[in-house]
Chain A
Amino acid sequence: MYFSLTRFGFSAFIILYLAFPSIFCQAAEYPSKPITLLVGYAPGGGTDLAARLISGYFSKKWGQQLMVVNKPGGNLVPCVLELYKAKPDGYTLMVDTNGASSIQTAIMRNLPFKLEDRIFLTNFLINPTFYFCSANKPWKTLKEAAEYAKKDPANFKWAAMDISSTTTLSLIQFLDAIGVDILKTKKMDFKGGPDVMVAGANGEVDFANYGIGPALPLIESGKIRPLALISPQRIKRLPDLPTVKEEGFPGLTAAQWCGISGPPKLPKEIVAKWDQEMKKAAADPEFTASIEKLGMIVHYLPSEAYKKMVWDEMKLFTDLAEKIGVRPK
């Protein structure tokens, strides 16, 4: 009988590896196993697509799979709760949005978690929405639309979606900014994006707000007239469309964003890793091009700035919600 050291060593390694995988894993750099990215929306929407782009990009870069797991419904509460319950090891993260953070906290009561416990890793994009109306409406600019709303608020029909969406909040913000009593206007609640786009295009509503990416074909076909973009900067695809600030409404800041958030007590090293990597990605033309094709803008914010933005927004939305009576004081 003969003894082979290589064979013995190899078998010993396999047995040890199978018995105590953590010995070998801990030494390895993060990520050393697949990462779950929670998304609070159904497949196919803007946030889901952004998550899938992130997943594709970092899976290739890190050699570890980032799995997108959709947890739609319930005003994003079930999805966020899932994140808070996850082990804070960096292998369960969430693609965060206004709806899952600032708006949720501002609108809903008795949430089973606290915003201040959440770890904000990095913000990476703005998914600009825009104010628009049907091409057959007489007003050509945001100011003219505002004049019309002020003149006859009782006949001003605008398309709202569910209350946790940024588009609804930004419409409320607009009406509030021009001094129109929201309760006097005609708020039409629609259930989905396609309905809002169709109602906007055929003139059923006077004023609406939706993501610019999905609406590009309707703009191109001349069915709807874009009035202003809610974003800190213009987008390459429609260089002539001004931002709200350029149109004279600097206060309208409810831009729709996506970031990466983690469960409470997530170690600093993981936050730093994501922060660094996202900064690099934001400078990568391949990555930015794939985001821009969807009508979105790469918008990198480091952890601290990201957290501050969410908190500022939360306070702003809480005031708005109290004003219109969604959330009693």
Chain B
Amino acid sequence: MLEGPLWGIWNAMSPLNLLFGLIGCILGTLVGVLPGLGPASAVALLFPVTISLPPVPAIIMLGGIYYGAMYGGSTTSILMNIPGESSSVPTTFDGYEMAKQGRAGPALAIAAIGSFVGGTLAIMALSFTGPLLASLLFYFTAPDYAGMIFFSLVSLATLSGKSILKGILMVLTGMLLATVGCSLGGIPCFTFGSVKMMGGLDLVSMVVGLFGISEIMVSLEEEVATISRAKLGKLMPTLQEMRNCIGCTLRSTGLGFFLGLLPGMVPTIASFMAYDVEKRVSRNRANFGKGAIEGVCAPEVANNANAQAGYIPMMAFGIPPTPTLAMLLAALMIFGLEPGPLLFTKNADFVWTIIGAMYVGNAILLILNLPLVGLWARIVHIPYKLLAPIILGLCFLGAYAIRDDMFDVAVAVLFGIMGYMAKKFDWPTPPLLLGFILGPKLEGYLRPSLSVSGGSMAIFFTRPISLGFILLTFLLIGIRFYLRKIEKTGQAQV
């Protein structure tokens, strides 16, 4: 008699479960590959269909869409410098460089393998610790989150640009753009009297504009995208490259997993953080931004580990860390499978089957993605004049689908122009995205912290977790200045 995880895997391999797992993984990969279409909208669309299915296959399918999208997001990042999901933005930094050097194959392969390893390690942690780890989130209070986000903002501001000042300015612009809309008190901000603007700017239109439309504009200007001229090269990474990625994979899994346990720390934040960490600690750090394979591996590992870890607070306490998991939670409740500690005892069979399905799903995705590497890599041989309108159409579709409104398409076009200008004048765009994502989160934790302390900043220095993050932030700034000084004196001597 099989028990626990093994029983779950066995159960997840029953023909019906396997079929729906496969459907979910394929849909997820597709949603991931297509820029602008995210897992949250795909799950929302399929929601009425799934609730008429039996519970187990339905949850397996929705889960497949969620982690499938994490796999698929890297494909266009690497091949066209256009991220399929916001969580794959950091993958473009080195992935596209690799593709330009004719190493698209190894980049795609490492993204798939890294995703598989990161995902699987995270599920193993999930199946061995169960709901225990979920309690971690109760140790974090508002000031602690504020400290953590402050740390992330400072450390990520200088991620991809050469100039620290430009990076910080872009982060601040992103934070400012995020305030467009209605404040918590119901007061319109920066809406210029327009009701559409009250709804705010959406992340999707920002991502497809800044990274999709602008890239197409730049590529069309260069007439032939440089990448099409590159040779296909070999498809698999070398053994040495794989070995180099081991440390990076373990670190990124840990980071992605930890962030996944906390509500609001979405995969995008995890992948940026993982890239940032590797850029600092990897032995190959000098090559980051110039086609380092670790730079592709880190974000892809982290976003998968993050996506899988998100199941823990969702199943243990009904607290969904991401919007997609909120939909999954709702599906569980409609099936009468209420999350909570009792789910693990009362419906242990169900829990193990879902966990088993995650193992199986990751294996399916690896099998699905590795042979596709050759196929995807050939996409770049399609003439760009045919490819560009298709991608542009998908970008517009994704923006339109946010709330069935042309307003968001117009916003995407404006972001496209902005991204184009930024590329021309060498301003980094990823910090803008980070400011846009993290700014409202910082506000969301700063406000309650300061209202409880009566406006005193001391609250951030009296709690161990938030104090820790603030010290870490200053340490980081200190190290950076120290390294700069060494660099300068070194150059002077030469």
Contacts and interface: CB of A to CB of B under 8 A. Distances in A.
A binds B: yes
Contact of A75 (B182, B326, B341): B182
Contact of A69 (B40, B182, B404, B444): B404
B200 A81 contact: no
B342 A220 contact: yes
Chain B CB within 10 A, most for which of A43, A71, A81, A157: A43
A194 B319 contact: yes
A293 B336 CA distance: 6
Contact of A217 (B195, B318, B441): B318
B184 to A, nearest CB: 4
A298 to B, nearest CB: 15
B397 to A, nearest CB: 15
Given A52-B47, A77-B195, A293-B336, A157 B326 contact: no
Contact of A192 (B137, B318, B333, B444): B444
A190 B181 contact: no
B323 A44 contact: yes
Interface in A73-97: 73-75, 77-78, 81
Given A45-B326, A189-B447, A73 B181 contact: yes
A57 B138 CA distance: 38
A288 to B, nearest CB: 13
B185 A163 contact: yes
Interface in B299-341: 316-321, 323, 326-327, 329-330, 333-336, 338-341
Given A199-B142, A217-B340, A218-B318, A75 B186 contact: yes
A217 B199 contact: no
B348 interface: no
A49 B43 CA distance: 12
B336 A220 contact: no
A49 B263 CA distance: 21
Nearest to B134: A221
Interface string B277-294: 000000000000000000
Contacts of A69: 403-404
A114 B361 CA distance: 51
Nearest to A108: B186
A198 B320 CA distance: 11
B319 A197 contact: yes
B239 to A, nearest CB: 44
Interface in B119-155: 137-142
B137 A43 contact: no
Contacts of B140: 198
Contact of B186 (A44, A70, A107, A295): A107
Nearest to A224: B317
Interface in A163-189: 163-164, 186-189
B185 to A, nearest CB: 5
A78 B263 contact: no
A159 B444 CA distance: 12
A77 B198 contact: yes
Chain B CB within 10 A, most for which of A70, A195, A216: A195
A14 interface: no
Interface in B85-142: 137-142
A201 interface: yes
Interface in A262-301: 290, 293-295
B51 A56 contact: yes
Chain A CB within 10 A, most for which of B188, B321, B448: B448
A162 B186 contact: yes
Chain A CB within 10 A, most for which of B330, B343, B444, B451: B330
A48 B331 CA distance: 12
A194 B333 contact: no
B186 A218 contact: no
Nearest to A71: B403
Contacts of A77: 182, 195, 198
Interface in B328-379: 329-330, 333-336, 338-343
B266 to A, nearest CB: 12
Contact of B195 (A52, A81, A157, A326): A81
A102 B340 CA distance: 34
A112 B191 CA distance: 14
B323 A42 contact: yes
B340 A221 contact: yes
A191 interface: yes
A214 interface: yes
Interface in B447-480: 447-448, 451-452
A163 B185 CA distance: 5
B318 A71 contact: no
Contacts of A44: 40, 44, 320, 323, 326-327, 329-330
A48 B45 CA distance: 12
Contacts of B219: none
17 contacts: A43-B40, A59-B48, A69-B403, A72-B403, A73-B200, A75-B198, A78-B198, A162-B185, A163-B184, A164-B186, A188-B447, A191-B441, A197-B317, A199-B141, A199-B448, A293-B333, A326-B185
Given A187-B451, A189-B447, A223-B317, 7 more contacts: A44-B326, A44-B327, A55-B48, A70-B403, A74-B182, A78-B196, A195-B264
Interface of B: 40-41, 43-44, 47-48, 51-52, 137-142, 181-182, 184-186, 188, 195-200, 263-264, 316-321, 323, 326-327, 329-330, 333-336, 338-343, 403-405, 440-441, 443-444, 447-448, 451-452
Q: Across the A-B interface, give the 7 residue pairs with the lowest CB-CB distance, nearest first.
A: A74-B198, A217-B340, A191-B444, A217-B318, A44-B326, A73-B199, A43-B44
